[in-house]
Amino acid sequence: MNKKLLRQCISCRTKSVRDNLIRITKTYTLAGVKEAILNPNKYQLGRSAYICKTKNCINSAVKEKKIVKMLKIPAQLLERITPQLEISLNPHEGVKA
């Protein structure tokens, strides 16, 4: 049997397969500026943080600055992707007319 690689949620520390988690990867633009990408394709290189697709884990990761500390990124970078984080959690609520 193929052993699946497990990733750990930075909020609740539960281990899960990658498909069940939201991934945030730190990378650099061509100009060398730090950037945080939400759910990049799996070939995207860079330090990554994984979070369960649950409100509790996302809220705790954002509010307690776990993502910022884990990836060593400026808080503004996280603020930029936080709305996307919430949308990826609730696709229906994310669409507001």
Binding region for Zn ion (CB under 5 A): 9, 11-12, 52, 57
Nearer to Zn ion, 19 or 76 (CB): 19
39 token code pair: 């759910």
Residues 80, 86, 92, 97, CA torsion sign: negative
CB of 35 to Zn ion, least distance (A): 24
Nearer to Zn ion, 54 or 84 (CB): 54
Nearer to Zn ion, 8 or 84 (CB): 8
User: How does strand 15-17 pair with strand 6-8?
Assistant: antiparallel
CB of 10 to Zn ion, least distance (A): 8
CB of 57 to Zn ion, least distance (A): 3
The C-alpha atoms of residue 25 and residue 70 are separated, in whole angstroms, by 10
Could you give the 3-state DSSP secondary structure of residue 62? helix
**DSSP alpha helix (H) spans, 1-97:** 55-63, 66-71, 75-89
Nearer to Zn ion, 34 or 53 (CB): 53
CB of 85 to Zn ion, least distance (A): 13
